[in-house]
Amino acid sequence: MTIKDIAEHLGISHSTVSRALSDHPYTNEQTKQNVRQAVERLGYVPNAAARSLRSDKGSLVGLILPQIQNELFGMTAEIVAHRCSKNGFQMMLAASEDDPVAEYNQVLALREARARGIILTPTPGLLEKTAALLQGVPLVQYSRHHPRLAAPSVSVDGERGLLVATQHLLQLGHRRIAYVGMLTDRSTGAERLAGYMKAHDRAGVRKDPALRRLGPSDPDFARAAVGDLLNLVDPPTALLLGSNALTVGALRALRDAGLEMPRDLSLIGFGDPSWYALWNPGITTVGTPLVEMAEAASSALMRQLTSLAEVPERGNAHFSIDATFVLRGTTAPPHRLRNRRSARRTHDTRTRRAGSGSRPAP
């Protein structure tokens, strides 16, 4: 079923059909009716390929995320999709699974489909040819940023987030605070670790390297690392996690060890999936404001796409969204300092902002 079939069926020319369908001003109203009716009856569906070939009116926007089975990225995808369709774009989602080759293929597919713009969470090992492919395409880096990519980025301020979280523990009296986080090849891993370190430096507290465990953002890694930390001669009194997945693993290790929080150990998680609040006691955490981040990324891309300038400014505008420190029930003064049981908190859902950072224009 093509535009020509419709034309033939109606005994008119195919260009008239095209005009009728695109609501061209100088077209007979009656003809429009006839065409619309025929389209309906014959079940004609326009061919997007032909259209975008002729007039470069493609409306595809690509979103490449490391994984989507995770509440964080799932929600991101939903929000970005929403924002795209509200602006007349069609979003295409792909999962790179942190594999640079898969990432390359996805970027290639998007470029072949002449995507108008891309939002990408770059893998640490981003291929050189991928970066080349991305040249000149409206791009926004999401959640992570790669040095090779000269494009604006939107990410959570992990340094401040972990700084505030660590300070909270230090203030409670903890001196042996463990950190299980991601490797520093990811920008996020490096930043979060830096926050943890900085808090110690500022407070003049000695940092024990044995208390830092860096690895992949995988529950199993955290489970092993935490199990290991608990067996130390001088074990930590508090534990900080560097990602959502790592928090899950830590929780598992703690359950295996039969430890109770915050009695035996204080814990601050990362991310804030809905079940953290449901946990008993609620999990104190460094939350990532998903909605704000996704909105900011969408805005940043839309700004590039609708930019009046011929060459949209792809400057290194890095938007840093503040993390949210959510104080719940898994933190308390270390065992040896708690002499009054009454000091223990229960379900506290107070929330406060962890410092102030730059914010993108709405």
Written as six digits, the tokens of 151 are: 């494009």
Distance between CA atoms of residues 1 and 362, nearest Å: 44
Identify any residues that bridge with 353 across adjacent strands, giving them in sequence order: 324
Strand runs (DSSP E) across 78-156, as ranges?
A: 90-95, 117-120, 139-142, 153-156
Conformation bin of residue 224: beta by default, left when phi > 0, alpha when psi is -120 to 50: alpha
Under rule CB under 7 A, residue 101 binds DNA? no
CB contact set of 40 (below 8 Å; sequence gap of 6+): none
Question: Shortest distance, CB of residue 37 to DNA, whole angstroms?
Answer: 14
Near DNA in 3-32, by CB under 7 A:
3-4, 11-16, 18-19, 21-22, 24, 26-28, 30-31
Whose CA is closest to 164, among 206, 192, 144?
Answer: 192
Does position 224 bind a second copy by CB under 8 A?
A: no
Q: Where does this chain touch a second copy (CB under 8 A) — which range of 27-35, 163-171, 210-218, 273-281?
A: 273-281
Are residues 148 and 180 in contact, defined by beta-carbon separation less than 8 angstroms? no
Window 243-262: residues binding a second copy (CB under 8 A): 248, 251-252, 255
CB-wise, 178 or 294, nearer to a second copy?
294
* Residue 274 interacts with which of DNA, a second copy, none, CB < 5 to 8 Å by class: a second copy
Q: Which of 43-51, 227-235, 241-249, 350-358 is the region at the interface with DNA (rule: CB under 7 A)?
A: 43-51
Residue 123 phi, psi (nearest 5):
-75, 155
Cα atoms found within 13 Å of the Cα of residue 362, Cβ hemisphere only: 0
Q: Please identify, using beta-carbon distances, which residue of 18 and 90 lies nearer to a second copy.
A: 90
> Which of 3, 169 has the CB closer to DNA?
3
Q: Residue 112 or residue 201: which is nearer to a second copy going by CB?
A: 112
Binder among 53, 203, 232, 337 for a second copy (CB under 8 A): 53
Residue 27 interacting partner from DNA, a second copy, none (CB closer than 5 to 8 Å by kind): DNA
Span near DNA by CB under 7 A; candidates 44-52, 163-171, 321-329, 339-347? 44-52
- Of 296, 268, 292, the closest CA to residue 195 belongs to 268
Asked whether the beta carbons of 321 and 154 are under 8 A apart, the reply is yes
86 contacts which partner out of a second copy, DNA, none, CB within 5 to 8 A by kind?
none
- CA-closest candidate to residue 251, choices 290, 282, 274, 212: 282
Answer with the entry of DNA, a second copy, none that 339 interacts with (C-beta below 5 to 8 A by kind): none
DSSP three-state, residue 321: strand
By CB under 8 A, what part of segment 331-360 binds a second copy?
A: 347
Biggest CA–CA distance in the chain, Å, is 93
Pairing of strands 153-156, 212-215: unpaired
Residue 81 interacting entry, from DNA, a second copy, none, C-beta within 5 to 8 Å by type: a second copy
Of 48-56, 80-88, 100-108, 233-241, the segment contacting DNA by CB under 7 A is 48-56
Query: Quick check: 227 binds a second copy (CB under 8 A)?
Result: no
Nearest residue to 73 via CA among 37, 107, 31, 121: 121
Decide if 185 contacts 174 (C-beta within 8 A).
no
- CB within 8 A of 52, min separation 6: which ones? 58, 114
291 binds DNA (CB under 7 A): no
Among 7, 17, 77, 199, which residue sits at the site for a second copy (rule: CB under 8 A)? 77
Nearer to a second copy, 111 or 198 (CB): 111
Name 214's bridge partners: 181
Residue 238 and residue 202: Cα distance in Å, rounded?
18
Per CB under 7 A, contacts with DNA among 50-89 are: 50-51, 53-55
First CA to last CA distance, the chain: 44
Contact footprint for DNA (CB under 7 A): 2-4, 11-16, 18-19, 21-22, 24, 26-28, 30-31, 44, 46-47, 50-51, 53-55
Contact footprint for a second copy (CB under 8 A): 43, 45-50, 52-53, 58, 67-71, 73-75, 77-78, 81, 85, 90-95, 97, 102, 105, 108-109, 111-114, 132-133, 135, 219, 248, 251-252, 255, 273-275, 278-280, 347
